[in-house]
Structure 1
Amino acid sequence: MQVRFVDSLGLELEDVKFFTASEDPRVPVHVITRLMASSELASRKKLELELPYFQPAFPDNISAESGFLERLIQQRVSLEKMFYSELGIIGTVQVLNLAYEKEVTLPVPPFIMTPGAVLQFAIRFRVTGSEYWDNNAGCDYKLTCQTYKLTVPKECEDSLVHFV
């Protein structure tokens, strides 16, 4: 006799974790959102989701802005582009090639996506014992968490929600 653990689509579960009474599991926000959506579907209420997104207080593609090259030469480091999703923030940074070894960091504090929350950050570039910053001309880069409402069409209400 063989025992297998599978999800709702019959796919293998990779890991099983047992929690003690004093240990709360950490469930990602996107999973909780989908679980709540499933419970609304089961109760046959109108399904409307509020999904979070980041609203930047700066252009997404900074390198396309006039004066970008001059800014890069003056500061030696500059944020180039930003991409946002439920899974996180990805940014590209340009630096002057002052030495072979470089260190570029975006000091970002832990952040929970709640509506109205503001994430502020700056970029630090360390090279040859010196440190250079891009802090958006002293204002820091700011992303505000907003939400938008999404109503699920009736034809999708009976769809199976699958969590990987």
Structure 2
Amino acid sequence: REREREREQLRNVLHDASRLESFLRDRRRARSLPAYPAALLERQSGGGKRVKFADSMGLTLESVKHFSALEEPQIPSKVLSRHRSFPPPQHDLLADLRHRFQAGRDTDRLLACFPELRDAERRVLQLRVCLERVTITQFDVSGQIRVLDGREDKEVGVRYTFNDWLSHVDAQAVPVAAEQTDLVGERFVFTVFTPPFMAPGSIVHLAVYLKSDGGEFWDNNEGQNYSFRYHSMPGTAAFHST
């Protein structure tokens, strides 16, 4: 009996060795190694399903697909049609906005609502201060003021409004050197910056002033204001009044 028991144990050992050799041979034939322990892959998820991979169990993969860099991908027609229905790229939208903005800059501008300015010397002798010249661009109104006051301590400027005098802003003018020796009075210049976008029909009103120890003097176009109306029109030439 003792010999039969030893023979049985030997047969079991040989059988186990054969199973181990077969297992190792199958593992060598496997194309890849398991990324995670099989015990973790066999855990149940929230839906109660189990996921197992063939190579994690020591089995061979059914097939292996090799991709080439020269091989063009085959995209299903449904995917292509959905891609074509997407909105245009963002840079196209920005280009369209820039084009519209440039078109608005080229066609919309302020126009003077008063006659061409003349007789600056006569008016400055009468009012002590007068608007002598204005230049309108796409973004501002620049002007030249004539002043008859020899005092050093004086303030010259322009008062303007965008809301029909519900509120206003004062902008101080700065002196400029005279280009002619027989000039009556002194010259000052100013710039009023207008909003980049104004509704059609909007009006900018302004008047020029002189403040000194001798008093306060105004030129407001004989009480009518110097007004500029916002219009849409072709062309880019600036308006000059002398």
TM-score range, shorter chain: 0.5 to 0.7
Taking structure 1 as reference, are residues 37 and 59 closer, same or farther at Cα in structure 2, changes over 3 Å only? Answer: farther
Q: What is the percent sequence identity of the aligned residues?
A: 24
Give the superposition deviation at 1:84: 1.0
User: Are 1:99 and 2:151 counterparts?
Assistant: yes
Taking structure 1 as reference, are residues 49 and 127 closer, same or farther at Cα in structure 2, changes over 3 Å only? Answer: same
Encode CA deviations 1:31-82: one digit per residue, 9 max, x unaligned.
xxxx98831799xxxxx9333211101245x2xx2x4322111100000111
2:96 matched residue in structure 1: 39
2:125 matched residue in structure 1: 73
Tell whether the 8 Å contact from 1:119 to 1:143 is kept in structure 2 after alignment.
yes
User: Are 1:139 and 2:224 counterparts?
Assistant: yes
Give the superposition deviation at 1:108: 1.5
Partners of 1:54 and 1:76 in 2: CA distance: 28
1:162 matched residue in structure 2: none
Give the superposition deviation at 1:107: 1.2
Q: Which runs of structure 1 show a deviation greater than 6 angstroms over 4 or more consecutive aligned residues?
A: none
Tell whether the 8 Å contact from 2:207 to 2:226 is kept in structure 1 after alignment.
yes
Partners of 1:56 and 1:139 in 2: CA distance: 13
Question: How many aligned positions are there?
Answer: 109
Taking structure 1 as reference, are residues 41 and 132 closer, same or farther at Cα in structure 2, changes over 3 Å only? Answer: closer
Partners of 2:137 and 2:98 in 1: CA distance: 25
Greater helix fraction, Structure 1 or Structure 2: 2
Q: Per the alignment, in what secondary structure is the counterpart of residue 138 of structure 1?
A: coil
User: TM-score, normalising length from structure 1?
Assistant: 0.56
Partner AA of 1:49 in structure 2: A
1:56 matched residue in structure 2: 112
Tell whether the 8 Å contact from 2:127 to 2:219 is kept in structure 1 after alignment.
yes
The alignment yields a C-alpha RMSD, in angstroms, of 3.1
Taking structure 1 as reference, are residues 49 and 69 closer, same or farther at Cα in structure 2, changes over 3 Å only? Answer: same
Partners of 1:90 and 1:109 in 2: CA distance: 15
User: TM-score, normalising length from structure 2?
Assistant: 0.39
Partners of 2:223 and 2:216 in 1: CA distance: 16
Partners of 2:199 and 2:141 in 1: CA distance: 15
Tell whether the 8 Å contact from 2:207 to 2:220 is kept in structure 1 after alignment.
yes
Tell whether the 8 Å contact from 2:108 to 2:234 is kept in structure 1 after alignment.
no
Taking structure 1 as reference, are residues 103 and 49 closer, same or farther at Cα in structure 2, changes over 3 Å only? Answer: same
Give the superposition deviation at 1:149: 4.3
Instruction: Kindly indicate whether structure 1 or structure 2 has the higher relative contact order, using CA contacts under 8 Å at least 6 residues apart.
Output: 1
Taking structure 1 as reference, are residues 41 and 79 closer, same or farther at Cα in structure 2, changes over 3 Å only? Answer: closer
Tell whether the 8 Å contact from 1:104 to 1:126 is kept in structure 2 after alignment.
yes
